[in-house]
Chain A
Amino acid sequence: MAHIWPIGGGKGGTGKSFLTGNIGILLARQRFKTLLIDADLGAANLHTIIGLSHPDTSLSDFINKRFLTLEETVLETPVPNLFLISGARNKLDIANLAYEQKTKILRAISRLDYHYILLDLSSGTSFNTIDFFTLSDSGIFVCCPEPTSIENFYRLIRSVYIRKIQQILKAHHFRKLAEKAEARNPNTVINNPEYLLDILREIDLEKGRMIERILQAFQFKLVVNQVRKQDNQKIGMLICKIIEKHLGLKIQFIGNVGFDERVHEELCKKGPFIDKYPYSQAAMDLKALTKGMVEATHAQGEVPACIQPDINTLSG
């Protein structure tokens, strides 16, 4: 079964597509069959990052039933082992998907035969982004060490949190409980989802604990991108601490990626950064990050042992 990593962050411009594209290339180079899916439905541009300028098919062909299977929308890329489902030719109204459509897409994705599937999600806290996070429990968040980015990231993770609670309540027909909780604290629920859990626990300890357990199954990861020398290098770790302490969610800081002027330059040339500057700090950071993530999935036994690509070459 493929390992699915949704990649999102609250704010635009944090480098989600950049990270998705370059991590994808690194994985493919290690002979992992890797699929990138541009799920930034309203503003897709992942194809540009990996150097593919005019994709013929896109995710919307599957959503609109032009193709019956998701496989048919998969494109080859200039990089061996790397495949793409583009979002480039999506219709303009596609940015708002119904929940059922999203589960249909995710079900189809989970049936695809790849080692790794990376989902590039849109910024903001639209239900599109949130639901892809709640549907898979191994999401990767990207943020920059800037107040604007951190603010949006906190907003996003809280939205994911509250959406998940609401889904659990709905799935288990805890409507009475939900209504009681709503009545007790109508305003704080929206801004502080952590109080919602408190209230739920107060009303019904057992169900509250059950919801808490489900929330703890999330294994989120955080990458801090565009880190400059003068920035606090520990900020990612500290952010995870705040989230674990106050939301009770498990989130693991997996690394910084250094800021590099040349990323902009390479984007303008529409080529993959990792190929042009393989020994820059940012590229080294990306390699370390990818290596860590692959090792973690190996340790969990989620990648079949028979593949065994040489992960050690990732560090070089």
Chain B
Amino acid sequence: MKRLIEQTFYELLGIKFDASSFEINRAYKENYQLYHEDSLVSYSFFSREERKDILAKLDEAYSTLIDEKKRSRYDQSLIECGILQEEMKSQGDRKAFCLISDSKHSTNNTVLRIRDELKAMVSSNPVIQEILTHDVLSGEDLKKIRRELGVSLEIITEMTKVRIFFLRAIEEDEYDKAPSRMFLKSYVKAYAQSIGLDADFVAGRYLKRIND
């Protein structure tokens, strides 16, 4: 167990050195949930000063890692201390800021890792599980699931390469905005798959409404 003061920003947030901005965002939100002043989870666990220190360090960690330039400088300081190695860094800061970079080999890993995490979140979230028992799924249902997972449409666009205009149309049930039913189906599948849902299952239930 490492003391808080000794932890790097990455350890503090519980993320890897090559974490994407999506992962940094989510890690910050999760940690904030644990430590904020009114958090039931850590109620009475920390003194007021301890909590203030932790929150200040969390904020510092977040604002440093989310900013490409600051993160790069911070990584450099870790390298100088011998905590981080050069090759890890160069891999890391290439995709530090954007979710999915152009470099081919690391892209797939990041997408897959996020998808795996989202899958785990889907199966453990009672709200989502309840929605998935519906016979048909509406755009509103998909939006609710996405919000539960804390994923933005921008991120889905990045992951799926489907234009945000179409993603929004799916959530608004504006079926005619897609060029054809075939396209609509593939967009819904891409959308579902990117957030860790079963693509065929979701597309089937979504299109059922139109077909009926």
Q: A233-B126, A248-B1 are in contact. Are A242 and B45 (CB under 8 A)?
A: yes
Residues in chain B near residue A242, CB distance under 8 A: 34, 41-42, 45
Bound-state Cα–Cα, A147 to B45, Å: 11
Count of B interface residues, CB-CB < 8 Å:
12
Chain B at the A interface: mostly helix, strand, loop or mixed?
Answer: loop
Bound-state Cα–Cα, A245 to B126, Å: 26
Bound-state Cα–Cα, A134 to B34, Å: 27
Q: Does B3 make an interface contact (CB < 8 A)? A: yes
The answer to whether B44 touches A239 (Cβ under 8 A) is: no
Residues in chain B near residue A194, CB distance under 8 A: 1
The answer to whether A145 touches B40 (Cβ under 8 A) is: yes
Bound-state Cα–Cα, A238 to B34, Å: 7
Q: A241-B34, A246-B45 are in contact. Are A235 and B40 (CB under 8 A)?
A: yes
CB-contact partner of B40 in A147, A197, A198, under 8 A = A147
The answer to whether A238 touches B44 (Cβ under 8 A) is: no
- Within B25-84, which residues are at the interface with A (CB < 8 Å)? 33-34, 40-45, 47
Residues in chain B near residue A245, CB distance under 8 A: 1
Q: Does A295 make an interface contact (CB < 8 A)? A: no
Residues in chain B near residue A233, CB distance under 8 A: 126
- Within B6-40, which residues are at the interface with A (CB < 8 Å)? 33-34, 40
Count of A interface residues, CB-CB < 8 Å:
23
Q: Does A151 make an interface contact (CB < 8 A)? A: yes
Bound-state Cα–Cα, A265 to B33, Å: 36
CB-contact partner of A235 in B1, B41, B44, B47, under 8 A = B41
Q: A238-B34, A241-B34, A248-B1 are in contact. Are A151 and B43 (CB under 8 A)?
A: yes
Residue of B nearest to A242 (CB): B42
Residues in chain B near residue A147, CB distance under 8 A: 40, 43-44
Residue of A nearest to B47 (CB): A191
CB-contact partner of A150 in B34, B43, B47, under 8 A = B43
- Within A302-316, which residues are at the interface with B (CB < 8 Å)? none
Instruction: Please report A residues at the B interface, Cβ cutoff 8 Å.
Output: 145-147, 150-151, 154-155, 191, 194, 197-198, 212, 232-233, 235, 238-239, 241-242, 245-248
Instruction: Please report B residues at the A interface, Cβ cutoff 8 Å.
Output: 1, 3, 33-34, 40-45, 47, 126
Taking A147-B43, A150-B40, A235-B40 as known contacts, 9 extra A-B pairs with beta carbons closer than 8 A to each other, sorted by chain A number, are A151-B44, A194-B1, A198-B3, A232-B40, A233-B126, A235-B41, A238-B33, A242-B45, A245-B1
Q: List 23 A-B contacts (CB under 8 A).
A: A147-B40, A147-B43, A147-B44, A150-B41, A150-B43, A150-B44, A151-B43, A151-B44, A154-B43, A154-B45, A155-B44, A194-B1, A198-B3, A233-B126, A235-B41, A238-B33, A238-B34, A238-B41, A239-B41, A242-B42, A242-B45, A246-B45, A248-B1
